[in-house]
Amino acid sequence: MALPIFGHLHLLAPIPHQALHKLSNRLGPLIHIFLGSVPCVVVSSPEMAKEFLKTHESSFSNRPHMAAVDYLTYGSADFSFAPYGPYWKFMKKLCMSELLGGRTLDQLLPVRHEELSSFIYLMLNKAKANEAVDVGAALMNATNNVISRMSMGQSCSADEGEADGIRKLVKAVAELTGKFNLSDFIWFCKNLDLQGFGKRLKEVRDQFDTMMERIIKEHQEE
């Protein structure tokens, strides 16, 4: 029997997908549960997955609403979390035609080659000097440079200080949007900041806005 407030959250183990797998073995490939006050459907077979992801795709294509994402993206106005509809379709068309289209990718191939070469030279120089290197950080730096040069025409992490700031910002966003937030699942916690996310979210969004304002201003001046 489900708890009146927390729904079936008590059925989830520290590794949720394993707990859901055990439930599906016992109850079948299609389960309706409540994570707190949020209704959820658990699909555990290829046949059922096809029904949800293909046959009835338009009814189940939205990402779940999360308070942290909603705040950081000004009401889920970005491409990744925008609800399925005319705005999402417009954003998808814009991204595919201006950023991810074949013609654009071909034109920006030299950019990717340059950043890959810079990464390889960095690894070689560190090896020759017998110096330690954080490969993960270097790869993120290279990835940031590729994305920023492709989308904005300039490298956002040209110096190590700025690169480190961007890495920390990306890490903070990933942590805040990936943490369990009571306000997302328990209805009476919706307007309460019991876990103290509010202050951190404001800091991260302000930092991101400051970075984007600087980039936009530089483009306008050019």
- Of residues 202 and 16, more confidently modeled: 202
Mean predicted confidence (pLDDT) in 94-119: 85
Confidence band, pLDDT 50/70/90 cuts, at residue 96: confident
User: According to the 3-state scheme, what is the secondary structure of the chain?
Assistant: CCECCCECHHHCCCCHHHHHHHHHHHHCCEEEEEECCEEEEEECCHHHHHHHHHHCHHHCCCCCCCHHHHHHCCCCCCCCCCCCCHHHHHHHHHHHHHCCCHHHHHHCHHHHHHHHHHHHHHHHHHHHCCCCCCHHHHHHHHHHHHHHHHHHCCCCCCCHHHHHHHHHHHHHHHHHHHCCCHHHHCHHHCCCCCCCHHHHHHHHHHHHHHHHHHHHHHHHHC
Confidence band, pLDDT 50/70/90 cuts, at residue 2: very low
pTM, rounded to two decimals: 0.69
- Of residues 127 and 152, more confidently modeled: 127
User: What pLDDT is recorded for position 84?
Assistant: 85
**Tens digit of pLDDT for each residue in 41-53?**
899 999 999 998 8
Mean predicted confidence (pLDDT) in 71-92: 86
- Of residues 30 and 170, more confidently modeled: 30
* Domain residue ranges in the chain: 1-61, 103-221
